């Protein structure tokens, strides 16, 4: 036991540094075996240097090529309270990056013949009020429904991210919506309501909780053993990072949420599991070719203008190359899964600090790793 406070702090910092170093070493060995680090590893690490220390939250990074995790690192701490370093096995809430799993669940039920994307939402959720225009499941999958964001409705009612909320509360807030924001199909407007309601559609079509359907039909078949849905705020989630926000006066504060809505977010996963999901876009183990086509299909707006939001995925072009991606943000968690299909290369960044930008970081990593493949920026 330490008698002097400063000595205790120094000892704690030394142990934290040791833990961080061992964590990074273990991550490197786990991802690469005895193979040397890629030639671009030092450049990539430099992007994350500001968080790569024992007194900061940070992120886990994964670079996937040809279905293999060729580089994986943790930067910073999963728990500042317990000096636990981030590794590729650290579990994060991935926020809206979760939406592709909800879209996949709908796609699988389409294959099962249990629903159709042309179904009108009231066929499945009759608690919603009538509107002048029909809203189909496909409008919701492409964020062209005109439905307001339930998060905004709940925030306006005085509910914050730290509150405990249930799916029924969100549904109750939507039951008060008397008109749509625009004619469905006429424009793209991102709304978490779309995918929250789609999770309820999955439950009613499959006749089982959404979290169970996702586990049985997606996570388990792919061996995603650390992945689950945060359907109960009292869940104990092994290896889960705490989330933080930077304070104006310096340091960090805890930034967690106890919302229990699913579909628009709430997937808890790690870099090592997302490699398995990302590889499914090549192997088609779950859902076959049909699911891949389903997820990547875009539909133009009613005026003919393109909509780059497919079904749970953004499909666009960057630096002359096709890209498929989706970011996520909730409480102090941030996430990105970004794939360059032509290069068979993907990037995962999962963070536990609210002011981090995994999308921008993945783009910077891509510029390093795919330097000879991406067109020069103008």
CA 368 to chain CA centroid, nearest Å: 23
- Total domains in the chain come to 1
Which pLDDT value is given to residue 377?
58
In a domain? residue 50: no
Residue 186 lies in a domain: yes
Alpha carbons 200 and 186: distance in angstroms, whole number: 25
The answer to whether position 377 is within a domain reads no
Decide if 80 is inside a domain.
Answer: no
- Determine the angle formed by the axes of helices 192-206 and 99-111, rounding to 10 degrees: 40
Category of 345 on φ-ψ map: left (φ > 0), alpha (ψ -120 to 50) or beta = beta
Q: Compute the distance between CA of residue 349 and CA of residue 121 in angstroms, rounded to an integer.
A: 34
CA 265 – CA 102 distance, rounded (Å): 9
Residue found by looking up tokens 């680090």 in the block: 37
First-to-last CA distance in the chain? 60
Residues in the chain: 378
What pLDDT sits at residue 4?
32
9: in domain? no
What pairs with residue 315 in β-bridges?
324
Give me the phi and psi of 180, to 5 degrees please. Answer: -80, 160
pTM summary value: 0.90
Q: Let me know if residue 352 belongs to a domain.
A: yes
Instruction: Please list the rounded mean pLDDT of every run of 10 residues in the chain (378 residues).
Output: 34 38 42 71 98 97 97 98 98 98 98 98 97 98 98 95 95 96 98 98 98 98 98 96 96 96 98 98 98 98 98 95 98 98 98 98 97 77
Tokens representing residue 106 in the block: 């709908």
Say what the pLDDT of residue 29 is: 41
42 assigned to some structural domain:
no
Q: What is the CATH number of the domain that holds 126?
A: 3.40.710.10
Helix/strand/coil (H/E/C) assignment for every residue in 73-97 = EEECEEECCCCEECCCCCEEECHHH
The 3-state secondary structure of the chain reads CCCCHHHHHHHHHHHHHHHHHHHHHHHHHHHHCCCCCCCCHHHHHHHCHHHCCCCCECEEEEEEECCEEEEEEEECEEECCCCEECCCCCEEECHHHHHHHHHHHHHHHHHCCCCCCCCEHHHCCCCCCCCCCCCEHHHHHCCCCCCCCHHHHHHHCCCCCCCEECHHHHHHHHCCCCCCCCCCCCCCCCCHHHHHHHHHHHHHHHCCCHHHHHHHHHHCCCCCCCCEECCCCCCCCCCECCCEEECCCCCEEECCCEECCCCCCCEEECHHHHHHHHHHHHHCCCCHHHHHHHHHCCCCCCCCCCCCECCCCEEEEECCEEEEEEEEEECCEEEEEEEEHHHCEEEEEEECECCCCHHHHHHHHHHHHCCCCCCCCC
C-alpha torsion 17→23→27→28, nearest 10 = 40
Q: What's the pLDDT score for residue 375? A: 74
Residue 61 lies in a domain: no
Domain assignment of residue 363, given as a range: 93-369
């Amino acid at each position: 036991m330490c008698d002097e406070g400063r000595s205790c702090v120094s000892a704690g910092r030394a142990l934290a540094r040791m833990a961080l170093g061992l964590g990074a070493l273990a991550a490197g060995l786990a991802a690469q075996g005895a193979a040397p680090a890629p030639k671009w590893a030092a450049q990539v690490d430099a992007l994350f240097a500001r968080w790569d220390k024992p007194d900061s939250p940070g992120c886990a990074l994964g670079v996937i090529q040809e279905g293999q995790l060729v580089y994986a690192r943790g930067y910073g701490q999963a728990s500042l309270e317990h000096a636990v370093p981030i590794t590729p096995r650290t579990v994060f809430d991935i926020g809206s990056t979760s939406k592709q799993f909800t879209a996949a669940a709908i796609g699988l039920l389409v294959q099962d013949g249990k629903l159709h994307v042309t179904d009108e939402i009231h066929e499945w959720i009759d608690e919603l009020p009538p509107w002048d225009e029909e809203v189909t499941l496909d409008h919701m999958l492409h964020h062209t429904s005109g439905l307001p964001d339930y998060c905004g409705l709940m925030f306006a009612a005085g509910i914050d991210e730290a509150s405990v909320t249930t799916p029924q509360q969100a549904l109750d807030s939507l039951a008060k919506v008397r008109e749509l924001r625009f004619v469905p199909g006429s424009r793209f407007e991102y709304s978490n309501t779309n995918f929250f309601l789609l999770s309820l559609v999955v439950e009613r079509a499959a006749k089982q909780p959404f979290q169970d359907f996702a586990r049985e039909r997606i996570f388990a078949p792919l061996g995603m053993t650390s992945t689950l849905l945060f359907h109960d705020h009292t869940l104990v989630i092994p290896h889960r990072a705490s989330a933080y926000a930077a304070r104006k006066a310096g340091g960090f504060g805890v930034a967690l949420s106890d919302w229990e809505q699913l579909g628009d977010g709430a997937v808890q996963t790690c870099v090592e599991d997302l490699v398995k999901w990302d590889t499914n876009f090549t192997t088609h183990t779950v859902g076959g070719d049909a699911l891949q086509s389903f997820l990547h299909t875009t539909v133009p707006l009613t005026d003919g203008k393109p909509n780059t939001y497919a079904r749970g995925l953004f499909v666009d072009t960057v630096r002359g190359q096709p890209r498929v991606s989706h970011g996520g943000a909730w409480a102090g968690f941030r996430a990105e899964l970004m794939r360059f299909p032509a290069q068979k290369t993907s990037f995962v960044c999962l963070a536990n600090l609210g002011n981090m930008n995994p999308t921008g970081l993945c783009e910077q990593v891509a510029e390093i790793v795919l330097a000879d493949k991406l067109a020069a920026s103008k």
